[in-house]
Amino acid sequence: MTFPERVTLVEVGPRDGLQNEPQPVSADTRIALVDRLAAAGLPVVEAGAFVSPRWVPQMADSDAVLTGITPRPGVRYPVLVPNTKGLDKALASGAREIAVFAAASETFSKKNINASIAESLERFAPVMEQARANGVAVRGYVSCVLGCPYEGAIAPEQVAWVAERLMELGCYEVSLGDTIGVGTPLKARRLVETVGARVPVEKLAAHFHDTYGQALANLVTVLDQGIATVDTAVAGLGGCPYAPGAAGNVATEDVLYMLDGMGIATGADLHAVAAIGRWISEQLDRPIASQAGKALVARACTA
């Protein structure tokens, strides 16, 4: 097996993680979370989403979060935007990187944003154009790449088409999301082989949920194929408000523990991230959804 010497972790807890909490989290707590994660050495921290508070109330006040954080040199703070209205708000708040969100499932796309896949991609064209004009980088997400809660299995060729179209529109990178966490290693391998035939593997990222405990195994598989960017969420925060039963994102602590053990550099401090996982779990009054996080916290308490 051949693995990258260094992996870039994209911390999505403050957005993709908190958006699935039953109650909104205060802007002050979200600001503190972003600042702590950046201080722990994570190079990319997704700070929020400029979406309708009617549909995702947990992401209200993302403007206050983006303007309230203390930017650290070398750290990027992308935000999710669905349309030009969201982009306008993001730009007014100082965003220098955004993300757009497409699906590989027609049914999921219609239920999520009330548009077909083709229609959603058409909507991104003016967003991309305006972002380019303002010197703002754009990252693309593709959801349901290994399965859909409504359609079941998704053909890798469908994922490849969506990813390729996002690159053509101007995304610098496309994150492949196993939104409901049904993927297994061989399926993940076939996915990257198929998508990688149309989009350079170095421009792909892995975004795996851990519903069936397969996320780390899937990550080892795709790292061996050349994937060197991985989306994670501190304390295993997350899920998906439009995917019933989906568990959280793969925990940043678990991925860090694995990568540290493999000798793969990330620049992040595992113990600092574990402490942040404990802190945000206490703020949310929920257990730590991370095996490494729980073990490290227990060790620290008995030391």
Per-residue pLDDT, 233: 96
Query: Band of the pLDDT at 173, cuts 50, 70, 90?
Result: very high
- The confidence band for 135, taking pLDDT boundaries of 50, 70 and 90, is very high
* Overall number of domains in the chain: 1
> Averaged over 155-167, what is the pLDDT?
98
The answer to whether residues 298 and 258 touch, using CB atoms and an 8 Å cutoff, is: no
Domain presence at residue 1: no
Q: How many residues does the chain have?
A: 303
Amino acid at 146: L
State residue 255's pLDDT score: 98
Residue at 262 is within a domain: yes
Tell me the angle at which helices 291-302 and 252-261 cross, rounded to the nearest 10 degrees: 80
Nearest to 232 by CA among 41, 80, 44, 91: 44
Write the pLDDT tens digit of every residue in 5-46.
999 999 999 999 999 888 889 999 999 999 999 999 999 999
Mean pLDDT of the chain: 94
- Active-site residue among 148, 171, 240, 301? 240
232: in domain = yes
User: Tens of pLDDT along 86-114?
Assistant: 999 999 999 999 999 999 999 999 988 88
| Structural domain for 139, as ranges | 8-302
DSSP class of 16: I
Write the CATH number for 178. 3.20.20.70
Tell whether 2 is covered by a domain: no
CA distance 247 to 35: 25
Number of Cβ within a 10 Å radius of residue 8 = 17
Task: Determine the residue type at 294.
Answer: K
Least confident interval from 121-130, 137-146, 231-240: 231-240
Asked, for residue 287, whether it belongs to a domain, the answer is yes
What average pLDDT does range 251-271 have in this prediction? 97
In sequence order, which residues have a C-beta less than 8 Å from that of residue 212 and are 6 or more positions away? 181, 182
Per-residue pLDDT at 290 exceeds 90: no
**204 pLDDT above the threshold of 80:** yes
Alpha-carbon span 173 to 196, nearest angstrom? 12
Per-residue model confidence (pLDDT) at position 295: 87
Q: Is 240 a catalytic residue?
A: yes
Residue-level pLDDT at 23: 85
Per-residue pLDDT at 244 exceeds 90 = no
pLDDT computed for residue 294 by the predictor: 82
Any bridge partners for residue 231, and if so which?
10, 207
Specify the pLDDT at position 1: 80
At 43 the three-state DSSP class reads coil
Q: Are 289 and 236 in contact (CB under 8 A)?
A: yes
Cα–chain center distance at 111: 20
Asked whether residue 13 is domain-assigned, the answer is yes
Whole-number pLDDT of residue 158: 98
What pLDDT score was predicted for residue 113?
A: 85
- Residue 183 forms part of a structural domain: yes
3-class secondary structure, 61: coil
Share of the chain above pLDDT 90, in %: 85
Task: Give every CB contact of residue 286 below 8 A, 6+ residues apart in sequence.
Answer: none
CA–CA separation, 176 and 233 (whole Å):
15
Looking at residue 22, its pLDDT comes to 86
Radius of gyration, CA atoms only, the chain: 18
Question: What are 41-51's pLDDT values in tens digits?
Answer: 999 999 999 99
